[in-house]
Structure 1
Amino acid sequence: MHLYLVRHPRPIVAANTCYGRTDLAVAAEELASAHASLLPVLPRNAMVFSSPLRRCMDLSESLAQTLGCAKPTYDERLAEMHFGDWEMRTWDDIPRTAIDAWSNDMVEYQPGGGESVMQVAQRVRAFRDELTELQIEHAIVICHAGIIRLLAACEHGLSVPEMALYAAQKPHKIRYGELLVVDC
């Protein structure tokens, strides 16, 4: 299977804001730009899966329609990590002690009382396992940088705790609207 992992376009949010599970819109020009750059490199008639957050849904719907794919399948397991009461706060407003606690336990700590990276890794692995069972040639997944890192970690044959650690320790450089192709 060829897995086409796409990060959503830049959402409408102030810089330096923690916004994991918060449902944010994308400006029309950002959506159009991502759509135009992805269209030539994505397969036609593939299955499309998407996070149910708007910043992913809008892109998945427009791409699916243009590529002649069935309507996207929205899956909660592809949603970004929930940062609890850190959501929509600037990183400067989050107490340094809390950020330090997270950096000391990147896998199990639940930032803002939300989800841990381990919890997110468990749901991403469950999604990936079900995707494998479908035995399809191409799958397009529109989601978030953290989810992309975890899906990529699945391809290294790592256990769920190893996936979580791999994703937590590896800084990402996945740009908005970027595509990562993984051959499974």
Structure 2
Amino acid sequence: MRPLYLIRHPRPAGAEACCYGRLDLPLAEPASHSLPRVRARLPASFQVWSSPLRRCLELAQALDPLARQHPGLQEMDFGDWEGRAWDDIGAPALDAWAADVTGHTPPGGESARQLLLRVQAALAEVLATSQGALALVTHAGVIRALVAQALELAGPDWLRIRPAYGQVVALDWDGQALQVPAATRRELGL
């Protein structure tokens, strides 16, 4: 088994005010504030990969100044919804999304199913070009998609996966598929 640690970025500034996925929000506080808690959950040796969005990259570079980036580790693209207040998006659009969590595509964006395909391809590249334990500094949507896929959860159940800012989600790669250890299931309330 190969350890894989999915780390959600620290809280970004302005996150409560709008829909953000690809929007490159700054962190609300320096990445160094999250570093001790994150580092305590990681092994002595690991390679760091990150989404190129600065809310991830700042923590990744605090963990390892030589952290590598992969665009496939970015959050879901919400298209025309990016940067808009949830109230401005409107209940009908949000209801349509809630009715088909994995299949609905925001205008100009990507669906959660498309996100999963992109993230699977990125993870395959990262696994093929690195060795040993991996720490991926990424986003809630990416973590949600990978855990849901590993547990074979139906679309509506994806929303039960709610990693906190700065949370480390430990998985294992068995050479063919991701495995979700019992301890991780408990931490995520699954």
Structure 1 range deviating more: 48-57 or 146-155: 146-155
Amino acid at match of 1:175: A
Amino acid at match of 1:15: E
| Equivalent residues of 1:150, 1:167 under 8 A apart | no
| Equivalent residues of 1:153, 1:167 under 8 A apart | no
Q: Indicate the residue corresponding to 1:53 in structure 2.
A: 53
Amino acid at match of 2:19: C
| Equivalent residues of 2:50, 2:136 under 8 A apart | yes
Q: Indicate the residue corresponding to 2:27 in structure 1.
A: 26
In the superposition, the TM-score normalised over structure 2's length comes to 0.81
Measured against aligned partners, the alpha-carbon deviations of 1:94-139 in whole angstroms (never above 9, x if no partner) come to: 1211112212222222113211111101111112223343472200
Structure 1 range deviating more: 109-118 or 78-87: 109-118
Q: Indicate the residue corresponding to 1:145 in structure 2.
A: 140
C-alpha RMSD over aligned residues: 2.0
- SS of 2:161's equivalent in the other structure is coil
- Percent same amino acid at aligned positions? 38
Match of residue 179, structure 1, among 154, 168, 175: 168
Using a 3 Å threshold, how does the CA distance of structure 1 residues 173 and 17 change in structure 2: closer, same or farther? same
The number of residue pairs the alignment matches comes to 172
State the alpha-carbon separation in 2 of the partners of residues 27 and 91 from structure 1: 20
Shift of 1:92: 1.0
Q: Is 1:103 aligned to residue 104 of structure 2?
A: no
- SS of 1:102's equivalent in the other structure is helix
State the alpha-carbon separation in 1 of the partners of residues 93 and 159 from structure 2: 20
| Equivalent residues of 1:128, 1:151 under 8 A apart | no
| Equivalent residues of 1:106, 1:168 under 8 A apart | no
State the alpha-carbon separation in 2 of the partners of residues 154 and 133 from structure 1: 20
Shift of 1:172: 2.8
Using a 3 Å threshold, how does the CA distance of structure 1 residues 109 and 76 change in structure 2: closer, same or farther? same
State the alpha-carbon separation in 2 of the partners of residues 118 and 93 from structure 1: 25
Amino acid at match of 1:63: L
Shift of 1:168: 6.2
| Equivalent residues of 1:3, 1:183 under 8 A apart | yes
Q: Indicate the residue corresponding to 1:123 in structure 2.
A: 118
State the alpha-carbon separation in 2 of the partners of residues 118 and 144 from structure 1: 15
State the alpha-carbon separation in 2 of the partners of residues 82 and 168 from structure 1: 20
Measured against aligned partners, the alpha-carbon deviations of 1:4-37 in whole angstroms (never above 9, x if no partner) come to: 11000000115241011100111344x2221121
Q: Indicate the residue corresponding to 2:39 in structure 1.
A: 39
- SS of 1:23's equivalent in the other structure is coil
State the alpha-carbon separation in 1 of the partners of residues 35 and 112 from structure 2: 29
Structure 1: 5+ residue runs without aligned partners? 66-70
